[in-house]
Chain A
Amino acid sequence: MSQVTNQNPEQDPQPDPVFTLHMAAMREMQEPRDGIAPTPVSYIIMCLLFVLGGGWYLGYYGGEWTANGLSERPIAGIPPAPPPQDPMVLGKEVFGACLQCHQESGLGVAGTYPPLAGSEYVLGDKRRLVAILLKGLNGEFVVKGNTYNSQMPAWEIREDEEIAAVLTYIRNSWGNKADAVSKDLVTAVRKETAGRGEWRAATLAEFAK
C-alpha cells in the first residue's frame, strides 16, 4: 500500500500516517492480553481424569508386577485350548511356503518343479506323502510321467498340525479330491522316519512298500 513512501526511507522522514495509526491500533488491541490467562477448572479436572485413567490402566494391565510376569493379565487356572482351526484355512496359509516352487495354481514349473494337481503322490498313499514332506526329496523323480531332477526341501521344523493341514489342503485343491490327513498320522510318520535323511526315488519306494 505504501510502496512509494517506503521505497527509500532515508529520504523520507515522514512516516506513512496510515502505518502509524495501524501500529497504534494494534497496540491497543493487545491490551487485554497479558500472557497470564488463568488456568481453567475444566483443565484441572481433565488432568485429574487422565491421572486416574492412567492409574487404572497400570493396575489392570500390571501383570503380576514381577520380573517373570510376562502376561499382562493374571491367568486364572489352565487356559482353555484354542479352538481347532479349519485345516483348509490353515493349510492355505502354510501353502504360502510352497508357492514359489509349486505355484499358486498347483501346476508347478514344467521341467523343474512337479505339479501337485492330479499328482499320484499327492492323491495316493498318505503315509508316503507325509514322509516326502517331512524329509524332502532329491534326485530323479517321476511325476505324472515326467521326470524331474531337483531338490524339494524338508519341512520337519513345521508343527504336525501345520503339515497335516497343508497336505489336506493340497489334496483338496485344484480339482484334487481325497480324504484329510490327520495330525496323528504326521506324528506317527515323524517317529517312524526319525533320523533318516532326504528321500531318493528308490528309498521312498522302499519305504512305501
Chain B
Amino acid sequence: MALAMHVHPLDKHLRVKRLPTIFCSGCGIGIALSAMLRALDKRISEGSVNPNKVLWVSGIGCSGRAVLYLNYDVAHVLHGRAIPFAIGAVLANPELKAVVLGGDGDIAAIGGNHLIHAAKRNFDMVVVMITNFIYAMTGGQVAPTTPYGVYTTTTPAGNPEYPLNVIKLVGALNANYVARASVTTPHLIEQYFYKALAMRGFRFIEVVATCPEMFGRHIGLRDSVEMFSELKKRVVYRHRPSLEEAMIDWEKGIVIGEFVERNNPSFIELLRGVKK
C-alpha cells in the first residue's frame, strides 16, 4: 500500500522542494524553528504580520542554515554578520520585519560587537540565538557558551573559560526584550517569539538546544534521547528571573524565562524623532 501524502500545517512557510534539512537526528534547531513558525503563523493569520515583509537573516553555522528552508525573503550571509546586514535592510526599508537567527558563535563571538551595538541602539529586529554549547558546523570546537572544564577539540585539556552570559550582556544594554527558552520547552519558544514579533526595538531570545552529535559526544551524551532528557532535567523555568540568574551552569541548572521586558522607542523611531 502506498503511503498517503500528508501536508504539514507549516509547509506553507517552507521551501518544501528543499527538504529534508541537513540537521542531524536529535538536533534541536528543527524544534526551535517549528516553534517560531507556529508563532509566525499565528501572527500572519491574525493579520498583525505581513508575510511579504518578513526577512530572515542568518550567518554561518548549523543554526544559520535553518533560514534556507523558509519560504520568505531570506539571506544566508557571512559568519557573524547577519545583524549588520539586517540593519542595512531595515534602514533601507523600515517596513521589513527582520529576524536574525544564528548560533552562539555566530551571534556572540565573531558577531559579538554587532550584537552589543544593535542592543545598545535598541535596533528594530528580533535576534534568536541557538545555544548548543559548541561550534557544531565546524566539528566540535569550544564556543562562547561551552561550560567550564568541558573537553572540546580545541580545548583538549578542558575549557579553561567560564561561559559568556549573553542574556546578562544584552540585558545590560537597551534591548526591549530578553528571554531564554529551551528546545525542551517549545511552547515557550513559540510564546516568546510570538510576543517578540509584536514588540518594537531590539528583541533577543536565546534558545538552549541539543546537539548530541557534537556537544553530546564530548560530554558522553551522544544518544539523542539521553541528551534531550539530560537537558530537560537541567532547564529550570522561573517567572521573571533576574539577570543574575542567567549564568549558564550545566551543573546547577539553566534558568529560562523572560529576563527583561521594556517598551522604549526603537532606533528607527528615535531616528524619526519619536521620544516615547
Bound together: no
Q: Report which B residues bind A (CB closer than 8 A).
A: none
Q: Report which A residues bind B (CB closer than 8 A).
A: none
